[in-house]
Every structure is written in structure tokens, then in C-alpha cells.
């Protein structure tokens, strides 16, 4: 796809996260390039942990996040052939490229039908466009994750986008996939992964509730606020995040 090292100076930074920056270019409308935000020697981030001494013995350094994403895509892609009609709810991984910011991961760009970058759930919530249907789509997506045994290592409202590129709205996970546990518990055990996904779903609803509570957020559907408000519990609460009686019965509202 690219010959040799490329410069991202002509690319537009379209997203930035805690670990990575994401770039797009008009000449390559179907791809994005992810690079690490900060690196030390050997691709290591500057860690503030007390046990950071042991980080130097871990392979891949900060690029472990790339490896997890690639591993999860390969694991899912092997289950399907080109003749399959089932589409993965995660972007395709297309390769690697060298940049002035270090190694870049080339991934599929998820857009709207008009070619614009698909908005995240966080974008929709801040813009006052989050609906009960979107909450139902979250439930449907996590059901697909359980059926396909997709492992998530991170879960926030900025990791999920809503696209209409196929003529209907669908929710996809664009970041945060892959096994983070050194023992690969969630990759090896469907039962453990199902439990983890329930936790992740609760974490996502909590994150959305906090976004709605942001003073900068425009008013969203009243039912959305009613569903997500119970997640804003005091931090000292010991109850699991996902245990909110009847809070997620959104099917009737979404229809």
C-alpha cells in the first residue's frame, strides 16, 4: 500500500486517545493510520508505575496495544471466508507503515454514507443526538460480541461509532479490542469473556451517563437520561455496574 516510510505531516489528525493518535488523508478515503502518542526507547511509554522496571522485559513495549488489536482481528477473520455474509463488528486491519512517529497501524476507516467519518457514541451524546435506539444497538452489539467471542480490553463511548454506510444504522467497535490478561483468560474461556463483556457493557453505560452529565452536552432523549441516570452512583457503591433493575428495557422505546 505504501512504499517505505511516509510522513504524516500532510495527514489530518482526526482523533486522539490516551495512548494513540489517528490520522486520515483525502487521497486514502478508506483507511486510517494509528500511531502511539508518546514513546521511549524500544517503543516504551514513560510509565509512572512503581513496578515500571519490569516493563523493560515485556516484548513489543507500548506496541502491545497494536498486537492485541491485530491478534483479535486475525482470530475473528479466520472464522469467515469471503463468501460469508456475516460482517465483523470491528474494523479490518490492513497492515503496518513506518512514520516519523514510529510504527503506524493501518486500519479500515468507518465512514457514513457520505464519506464523512462516522460519529462516536460520545459525539452523539454531546450533540444531543443519542437515542433509545442507540442504547438498544449497544445491547445488540454486545450480544454479537458474546456470540463471536470478541475480547475487549477497553470500553468507552469514544470507541464505538454509528454508521449508515450500508443504508441502515449500525454500531461498530473501532478500538479497544484484544486480550490484555497475560494468562489469556478471556480469549480461552467463553464463560470468562461473557462475564467480562457484561462488565464492559456496564462500563460503557456508565461512561455515557457521565458524558450526558457534562455541562457541554446538549439535551438528548428523555428516555436516554432515564436509562443512564442509575449508573451515576456514588463511587463507594459495591453493586455491580450492570445491575440496574429494568433500566435497560429499551426495545419498546426504540421501536
DSSP line for 78-139 = TT--TT-----SSPPEEEEEEETTEEEEEEEPPB-TTSSBPPBHHHHHHTT---HHHHHHHH
Contact residues for 49 (Cβ-Cβ < 8 A; gap 6+): 55
Tens-place pLDDT, residues 213-224: 999 999 999 999
Edge to edge, the sheet with strand 20-25 lists: 12-16, 20-25, 28-36, 102-108, 93-99
Tell me, what's the pLDDT at 35?
96
Report pLDDT for 245. 41
Confidence of residue 248 (pLDDT cuts 50, 70, 90): low
Ordered by start, the domain boundaries in the chain are 1-109, 110-242
Check residues 135 and 19 and name the one with the higher pLDDT: 135
Confidence of residue 246 (pLDDT cuts 50, 70, 90): very low
What number is the average pLDDT over the span 153-171?
94
Contact indicator for 207, 241 with CB cutoff of 8 Å: no
pLDDT of 85 reads 47
Q: In percent, how much of the chain has pLDDT > 70?
A: 80
Question: Would you say residue 239 has pLDDT above 60?
Answer: no
pLDDT reading at 100 higher than 50: yes
Report the pLDDT averaged over residues 38-53: 53
- Reported as a pLDDT band with limits 50, 70 and 90, residue 17 is confident
Tell me the pLDDT of the chain averaged across its residues.
86
β-pairing, 93-99 with 160-163?
A: unpaired
pLDDT digits (tens, 9 = 90+) for 46-77: 544 555 555 555 677 788 999 999 999 999 98
Output the CATH code of domain 1-109.
3.30.200.20
Query: Model confidence over 102-116: pLDDT tens digits?
Result: 999 999 999 999 999
pLDDT of residue 81: 67
Model confidence band, residue 137 (pLDDT cutoffs 50, 70, 90): very high
Q: Where are the alpha helices (DSSP H) in the chain?
A: 64-77, 121-126, 132-148, 185-188, 190-212, 222-228, 251-254
State pTM to two decimals: 0.84
Number of H helices, E strands in the chain: 7, 7
Q: Give the integer Cα–Cα distance in Å for 116 and 118.
A: 6
Instruction: State mean pLDDT over 219-241.
Output: 78
Torsion angles phi and psi, residue 57, rounded to 5: -95, -5
Amino acid at each position: 500500500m505504501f512504499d517505505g516510510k511516509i510522513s504524516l505531516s500532510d495527514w489530518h489528525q482526526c482523533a486522539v486517545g490516551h495512548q494513540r493518535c489517528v490520522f486520515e488523508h483525502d487521497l486514502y478515503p478508506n483507511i486510517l493510520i494509528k500511531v502511539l502518542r508518546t514513546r521511549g526507547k524500544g517503543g516504551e511509554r514513560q510509565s509512572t508505575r512503581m513496578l515500571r522496571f519490569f516493563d523493560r522485559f515485556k516484548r513489543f513495549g507500548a506496541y502491545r496495544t497494536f498486537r492485541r488489536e491485530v491478534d483479535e482481528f486475525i482470530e475473528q477473520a479466520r472464522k469467515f471466508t469471503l463468501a460469508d455474509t456475516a460482517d465483523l463488528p470491528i474494523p479490518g486491519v490492513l497492515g503496518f507503515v513506518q512514520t516519523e512517529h514510529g510504527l503506524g497501524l493501518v486500519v479500515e476507516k468507518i465512514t457514513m454514507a457520505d464519506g464523512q467519518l462516522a460519529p462516536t457514541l460520545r459525539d452523539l451524546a454531546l450533540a444531543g443526538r443519542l437515542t433509545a435506539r442507540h442504547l438498544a444497538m449497544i445491547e445488540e452489539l454486545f450480544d454479537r460480541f458474546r456470540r463471536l467471542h470478541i475480547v475487549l480490553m477497553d470500553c468507552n463511548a469514544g470507541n464505538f461509532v454509528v454508521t449508515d454506510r450500508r443504508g441502515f444504522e449500525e454500531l461498530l467497535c473501532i478500538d479497544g479490542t484484544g486480550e490484555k490478561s497475560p494468562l489469556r483468560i478471556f480469549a480461552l474461556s467463553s464463560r470468562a469473556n461473557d462475564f467480562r463483556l457484561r462488565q464492559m457493557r456496564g462500563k460503557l453505560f456508565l461512561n455515557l451517563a457521565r458524558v450526558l452529565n457534562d455541562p457541554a452536552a446538549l439535551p438528548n432523549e428523555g428516555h436516554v437520561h432515564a436509562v443512564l441516570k442509575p449508573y451515576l452512583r456514588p463511587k463507594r457503591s459495591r453493586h455491580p455496574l450492570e445491575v440496574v433493575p429494568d433500566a435497560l428495557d429499551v426495545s419498546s422505546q426504540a421501536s
